[in-house]
Amino acid sequence: MRSGRKLRRAAACVGVALSIDVTQRLIRSYLREDPTQGEPLDLAPGRDVIVEADDGAQLHAWLSDPDRSDDIDRRRPVALLVHGLATDRRMWSATARLLLDRGFSTIVYDQRGHGESTLGSERFSAERLGDDLRCVIETLDLRDVVVVGHSAGGIVVESLLVHSDDRLIARLKACVLCSTGSTQRKLSSAVEAVIASFTESSMLERIVSVRGVGRVLFTGFAGPIQPAAHVSAALEGYKKSSGPVRVAMLRVTQSDYGDLLKRVKLPVTVVIGDNDRYVPPWRARDLVSQIPGAKLVEVPGVAHMVPFEAPEKLADVIEEALELERPLRRVETTNSK
């Protein structure tokens, strides 16, 4: 009896502590100045273009130019932004608007199975997604482009780098890998199976749909302070992707290109929030050590969703990538396309 009362008291104390923590997080999130300056997470003015992959997948890309023309100005710098797991192209809204203000043309697209894009017939993998990225670059005839990948989107950019031939790589100016790290230390098969099962099930969708709960959970992923528009867009993107697609993207994050990354001959910057719990900073440092000449930028006080939490800093990094001296570019790989 006495031990039972102690357990109930301990549970009550934990519940009170959690309630206080959640309340504080919510208060801080409502008081924080919105980094988008009140702009909703909508796409900037532009036009939709459908890029068809070789297996029939239709990839919806959105092209925006500072002059609001019907096409991108080839004389301007171009940023091609690649989203990660269970989000869509809207996640780049704040960053893209800042880049447009700085004279960039921007291209964002929904990866297959996300947002408006269809799945296609080929098996979902990092290599397939990397080939989709190649299709976007070639179909839109992009040159001297800065390619930016967030989280799993960074793995997709890595896949492009290690599996493409010299002609494709010559189209790229630089790469920015955001919230992306080395996968030298992978999840155990048992842990991955548990996470995959939870990710695929509809249970999590029902949980995040409960008013207020999704926002609280999102603070653990993207930091304790988030404007409501960011949370809504992230949760909508999550619920719009199917369970099997989320699991497939989770497996993409476990792709490890190892020694192949040592062959990359392109300026690469890795950006990581120092409060990222999903991709701890040590994993970003490991990744930098694998890529010759790669640069690391750690953003203080920021978690995993850098495009939401620090779009101004990310825009700075992308702009700086254009100023890097362009070296001889060559990817030495026997698995070229």
Q: Which amino acid is at 100?
A: L
Question: For residue 309, which of 282, 270, 274 has the smallest C-alpha distance?
Answer: 274
Range of the domain at 220: 32-322
User: In the prediction, which pLDDT does 261 show?
Assistant: 93
Report residue 158 CA to chain centroid gap. 13
Burial of 7 (0-12, 13-18, 19+ CB in 10 A): exposed
Residue 226 lies in a domain: yes
At 247, the pLDDT band (50, 70, 90 cuts) reads confident
Report residue 33 CA to chain centroid gap. 23
pLDDT per position as a tens digit, 122-167: 988 999 999 999 999 999 999 999 999 999 999 999 999 999 999 9
Neighbours of 239 (CB within 10 A): 16
Q: Which helix or strand (DSSP H or E) is residue 271 part of?
A: strand 268-273
Cα separation of 151 and 309, whole Å?
A: 14
User: In the prediction, which pLDDT does 245 show?
Assistant: 85
Report the DSSP pairing between strands 78-82 and 105-109: parallel
Residue 208 lies in a domain: yes
Residue 17 lies in a domain: no
Residue 61 lies in a domain: yes
Cα separation of 89 and 108, whole Å?
A: 5
Backbone angles phi, psi at 150, to 5 degrees: -105, 130
Residue 2 lies in a domain: no
Backbone angles phi, psi at 321, to 5 degrees: -60, -30
C-alpha angle 267-270-272 in degrees, rounded to nearest 5: 165
pLDDT per position as a tens digit, 191-241: 455 455 555 556 566 666 666 666 666 666 666 656 666 677 777 777 778
Residue 18 lies in a domain: no
Neighbours of 303 (CB within 10 A): 26
Q: Which amino acid is at 78?
A: V
Q: Read off the CATH number of the domain in which 306 is found.
A: 3.40.50.1820
Cα separation of 131 and 218, whole Å?
A: 31
The alpha-helical segments, DSSP class H, found in 38-125 are 93-101
Four-point Cα dihedral 81, 83, 89, 95, nearest 10: -50
Report residue 189 CA to chain centroid gap. 24
Strand partners, 299: 273
Contact assessment for residue 161 and residue 175, using Cβ atoms and an 8 Å cutoff: yes
Record the pTM.
0.79
Contact assessment for residue 140 and residue 61, using Cβ atoms and an 8 Å cutoff: yes
Residue 16 lies in a domain: no
Q: Which amino acid is at 44?
A: A
Residue 268 lies in a domain: yes
Question: For residue 275, which of 267, 284, 266, 262 has the smallest C-alpha distance?
Answer: 284
pLDDT per position as a tens digit, 292-326: 999 999 999 898 989 988 999 999 999 999 876 44
Q: Is 314 helix (H, G, I), strand (E, B) or coil?
A: helix
C-alpha angle 152-153-156 in degrees, rounded to nearest 5: 95
Count of domains observed in the chain? 1
Token readout for 205 is 């969708």
The alpha-helical segments, DSSP class H, found in the chain are 2-31, 93-101, 126-139, 152-163, 166-169, 189-200, 202-209, 213-222, 228-240, 243-252, 281-290, 306-309, 311-322
Q: Greater confidence, 272 or 15?
A: 272
At 184, the pLDDT band (50, 70, 90 cuts) reads low
